[in-house]
C-alpha cells in the first residue's frame, strides 16, 4: 500500500492546483453517456443489417429528401465532409445509393437512395421505430420532449453567442 493523500472527502487532492468540477458530472460527459446509452439500444439491430450508425443516418436523410448535394447531405446527417465522402463511396459500392454529377455545375454531385437502399430501409425501419418507441415509453414522452427542447436551446445558445436565450432566471 502506497501512501494515500490525506483521505478527507474526495474534494481535496493535494496534487491539484486547480480544483475542477467532479469529472463525471461535466456536461460533455453527461451528453456522451446519455447518447451512448441510447445508441446501445440501436446498434445491434443496425449491425444485423450490416449498417453503421452513420450509414443509417445517411440513408434516412436521403429517404426523406429524394436527392441532395453532398454538402447539403453533410449538414442534414451532421457529418463532416471527409467522413461523408468515404461513406458515400462505400454505400455506392454496395449499390445502396446512386450518384450523378449535376448538369449545371460539374463540381456538384447529386446523391439519391437506390431501390435497394429503399428496400433495406424498409427492412430496418420497423425495428428502429419499435426501439425508439420503447425508449420513449420508458423515459416518458413528455419528459423526452422536454429534454429535446433543452438540448435544442443549449445548441442554439452556444451557436449564436449573442442570442440572449430565454434564461431569465439567472443574472
Partner DNA sequence: CGCATTCACTTAACATGTTAAGTATCTTCG
Partner DNA sequence: CGAAGATACTTAACATGTTAAGTGAATGCG
| 45, 60, 94, 99: which one binds a second copy (CB under 8 A) | 60
Number of amino acids touching DNA (CB under 7 A) = 28
Q: Which is nearer to DNA, 64 or 85 (CB)?
A: 85
Phi then psi for residue 64, to 5 deg, are -100, -5
- Residue 113 is inside which H or E element, if any? strand 109-113
42 touches a second copy (CB under 8 A): yes
107 touches DNA (CB under 7 A): yes
C-alpha cell at 148: 429535446
All residues at 6 or more sequence positions from 57 whose CB lies less than 8 Å from its CB, including other chains: 77, 78, 79
Which of a second copy, DNA, none has residue 64 at its interface (CB below 5 to 8 Å by kind)? a second copy
Q: Which is nearer to a second copy, 93 or 159 (CB)?
A: 159
Question: CB of 30: closest distance to a second copy in angstroms?
Answer: 4
| 6, 8, 9, 16: which one binds a second copy (CB under 8 A) | 16
| 10, 106, 168, 171: which one binds DNA (CB under 7 A) | 106
C-alpha cell at 62: 436521403
105 touches DNA (CB under 7 A): yes
All residues at 6 or more sequence positions from 123 whose CB lies less than 8 Å from its CB, including other chains: 49
**DSSP state, residue 22:** P
148 touches DNA (CB under 7 A): no
CA distance 50 to 44: 10
Choices 4-12, 44-52, 85-93; region in contact with a second copy by CB under 8 A? 4-12
69 touches DNA (CB under 7 A): yes
| CA-wise closest residue to 84 among 66, 72, 95 | 72
Amino acid at each position: 500500500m502506497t501512501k494515500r493523500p490525506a483521505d478527507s472527502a474526495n474534494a481535496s487532492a493535494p496534487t491539484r492546483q486547480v480544483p475542477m468540477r467532479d469529472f463525471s458530472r461535466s456536461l460533455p460527459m453527461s451528453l456522451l453517456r446519455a447518447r451512448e446509452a441510447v445508441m446501445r439500444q440501436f446498434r445491434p439491430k443496425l449491425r444485423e443489417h450490416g449498417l453503421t450508425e452513420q450509414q443509417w443516418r445517411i440513408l434516412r436523410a436521403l429517404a426523406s429528401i429524394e436527392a441532395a448535394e453532398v454538402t447539403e447531405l453533410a449538414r442534414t446527417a451532421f457529418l463532416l465532409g471527409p467522413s461523408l465522402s468515404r461513406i458515400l463511396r462505400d454505400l455506392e459500392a454496395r449499390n445502396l445509393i446512386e450518384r450523378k454529377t449535376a448538369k449545371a455545375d460539374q463540381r456538384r454531385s447529386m446523391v439519391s437512395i437506390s431501390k435497394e437502399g429503399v428496400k433495406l430501409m424498409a427492412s430496418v425501419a420497423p425495428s428502429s421505430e419499435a426501439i425508439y418507441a420503447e425508449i420513449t415509453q420508458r423515459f416518458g414522452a413528455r419528459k423526452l420532449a422536454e429534454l429535446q427542447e433543452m438540448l435544442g436551446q443549449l445548441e442554439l445558445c452556444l451557436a449564436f453567442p449573442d442570442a440572449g436565450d430565454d434564461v431569465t432566471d439567472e443574472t
